[in-house]
Structure 1
Amino acid sequence: MGKIIAIANQKGGVGKTTTSINLAASLGVLEKKVLLIDADPQANATSGLGIDVENVEKGTYQVLEHTASAAEVVIKTSSPNLSVIPSHIDLVAIEIELVDKDQREYMLKKALAPIKDQYDYILIDCAPSLGLLTLNALTAADSVMIPIQCEYFALEGLGKLLNTIKSVQKIHNPDLDIEGLLLTMYDSRLRLSNQVVEEVQKHFNEMVFTTIIQRNVRLSEAPSYGESIINYDAASKGAANYLSLAHEVIKKNK
């Protein structure tokens, strides 16, 4: 039975896409069958895995519109055991197009139902907003992972996201769990980074992943080569961090 994890935070630049790509690749390397869904119109998860966004003919947009099945639009990547449903800038229009549809929050859930059992994990890279796209992801997901940047405004907006999750649980998806809070962009030399870690762990103790994603140059370089950190530099700190996170996710879901 596949587990669907949405990776969400309405704040931009907190490491959602980096986490989506590298956690997906790490789970793949650990011999799990993984599907990554790019649900962000910026399509960074698509290009970050070496897929030319300009040439994407069918992807998340068509899946949400139900003009193509999820199985039809899956693309295999060069990363072991990892496939992707790509995105394209046309996904921007989906919010407007779904507005007057019946059960508009359930479009992704319905589309994934036929393929859910073919994967161990399905990760959804959400857009940095709490619009219909993210709502679809949260309604389809079994759990949500929240990346939090180790910076000054880290906890700002977190309350809003947790409230959104609560209302999704109440109205659309009573089974939605919080997979965990993931601290990203950590720099051990900065006092602020350490303060944020302490603060988050104090407030959310059990909910916080033990793994902390450190700032890492190789990690920022990898997407420009269209590769996950595992393919780009398996010996880097970034690769070690994401493999550790993958182990933690697998252990948690045993």
Structure 2
Amino acid sequence: MRRQLSSLDFMQTFSGKLELALKNLSMAQFPPDASRTMRKFASSEVAELLDVTEAYIRQISLKEKGPTPEVTANGRRLYTLEQVLELRTYLSEHGRKKWINPRRIEGEECQIIAVTNFKGGSSKTSTTIHLAHFLALKGYRVLALDLDPQASLTSLHGSLPGFDAREGDTLFSAIRFDDPVPTKQLIHKTHLVGLDVICAGLDLTEFETSVALEMRKSGGTSFLLRVSQALEQVADDYDVILMDSAPSLNFLTLSSLTAATGVLIPVPAHMLDVDSTGKFLELAASYMQILSDMGTSAQWDFAKFLVTKFEPNDHPQANMTALMRQVFGEDLLLNMVIKSAAVADALTWKQSLYEVQRARFSAPKTYDRAMESINAANSEIENLLWRSWGRE
């Protein structure tokens, strides 16, 4: 019996239709001639970002020191992100807080953090984008690196001028074995000052084939150093590099883990997710053992688990979190990222929660709870960076 449906026709038809539909949607949200900008920040938000009082910010403005904010009809002071960073520099030069400008100094190495877990839906991309935006708003120089061929992190930045995944504008061009390009050529500026991105595309899958061919020709584990060597070219320009890994433990993920100085493993507090994470750890351990036997190993400053999509009133999740805390101990971050409709809505708009005005949500308290949760987790991760740099 001859089946009627051609697999080739099916895949080609709907990949084309879906690509066109999503392209039209993206064009409607961000037309080619539109430039995406970051929202402005109220003085209360600026005070929180700079860890000073709002009265102090107001006093500086009244004395006409630092940047001049926009003053609305009702007297609110609004600052652009560029002005927030200018104010941070001003306070670091004239204030008493040593680390109000947190950028690393001589002797502190760029921190390269891999956000990884081969369980899909564990919030790797959400964790990466919110951490990247948090750190950029705090004044760090951040590079976000998309290592997932599905390119979710890339799509969250809208239409980036000059980016074309079909023209090899991804990290694969820098880590391929034949004629690699300089990593700096692949970096794109985003609409957030202090945040750059290297985008992803389907050509990242070619790394798996090229590694297999290279190992057949020369053997060894040189492929493990490809990501590290690519990032070494630009590490001096950044304080933190964040890598959003694919939901698989492939050659590219292994190379990123070798390049990393720290690892974050997001885990939803569900039985299937925790069980999958256990299998991920078991498989990773077997690979690391093979690499260790060959004289190659990855050394990190820290590796932490992060509970994501947590629902406080869900008893099974509370029990699973308690189990994880018992097993992982201090390697499980104290703060958990709650499941929130506010985060889901923001990502639907191709934005992080930091980009969206609170007033846009019909239930602002939902926004507040989500923001409090994300800020707490990100602050704990920031403390890990400081500890790695030897700061108090």
Give the alignment's TM-score, normalised by structure 1.
0.92
Render the CA deviation track for 1:121-166: whole Å, top value 9, x for unaligned.
Answer: 1010000001111111101111211000111213213233334157
Distance 2:286 2:261 in 1: 14
- Corresponding residue of 1:62: 173
Distance 1:40 1:72 in 2: 19
Unaligned runs of 5+ in 2: 1-108, 359-366, 387-392
- Corresponding residue of 2:147: 39
Distance 1:196 1:54 in 2: 42
Render the CA deviation track for 1:166-199: whole Å, top value 9, x for unaligned.
Answer: 7437353341354310000001121111111111
Distance 1:2 1:226 in 2: 28
Q: How does 1:99-118 map to 2 (within 5 A)?
A: 99-101=212-214, 103-118=222-237
Render the CA deviation track for 1:194-213: whole Å, top value 9, x for unaligned.
Answer: 11111111111100111101
Distance 1:32 1:76 in 2: 15
CA RMSD of aligned residues (A): 2.1
Unaligned runs of 5+ in 1: none
Q: For this pair of structures, how many residues does the alignment match? A: 254
Q: How does 1:74-153 map to 2 (within 5 A)?
A: 74-101=187-214, 103-153=222-272
Q: Does structure 2 retain, via aligned residues, the 8 Å contact 1:26–1:242?
A: no
- Corresponding residue of 1:252: 384
Distance 2:236 2:375 in 1: 23
Residue 239 of structure 1: which of 371, 378, 382 is its match?
Answer: 371
Distance 1:247 1:253 in 2: 10
Paired residue type of 2:343: L
**Structure 1 residues 222 and 89: alpha-carbon distance in aligned structure 2, compared to 1, 3 A threshold:** farther
- Corresponding residue of 2:133: 25
Q: Does structure 2 retain, via aligned residues, the 8 Å contact 1:95–1:133?
A: yes
- Corresponding residue of 1:210: 334
Render the CA deviation track for 1:2-56: whole Å, top value 9, x for unaligned.
Answer: 1001000011111001101111111111111111100000000000122469833
* Identical residues among aligned pairs (%): 26
Residue 186 of structure 2: which of 59, 73, 76 is its match?
Answer: 73
Distance 1:115 1:24 in 2: 17
Distance 2:137 2:239 in 1: 13
- Deviation larger for 60-69 or 212-221: 60-69
- Corresponding residue of 2:19: none
Paired residue type of 2:339: R
**Structure 1 residues 143 and 240: alpha-carbon distance in aligned structure 2, compared to 1, 3 A threshold:** same
- Deviation larger for 218-227 or 154-163: 154-163
Distance 2:159 2:303 in 1: 28
SS in 2 for 1:226: coil
Distance 2:357 2:151 in 1: 23
Distance 2:147 2:188 in 1: 15
Residue 162 of structure 1: which of 254, 262, 281 is its match?
Answer: 281
More strand, by proportion: 1
**Structure 1 residues 61 and 51: alpha-carbon distance in aligned structure 2, compared to 1, 3 A threshold:** farther
Q: Does structure 2 retain, via aligned residues, the 8 Å contact 1:218–1:236?
A: no
Shift of 1:59: 1.4
Distance 1:17 1:28 in 2: 16
Paired residue type of 2:240: Y
- Asked if 1:198 is matched to 2:322, the reply is yes
Give the alignment's TM-score, normalised by structure 2.
0.61
Shift of 1:233: 4.6
Distance 1:195 1:34 in 2: 36
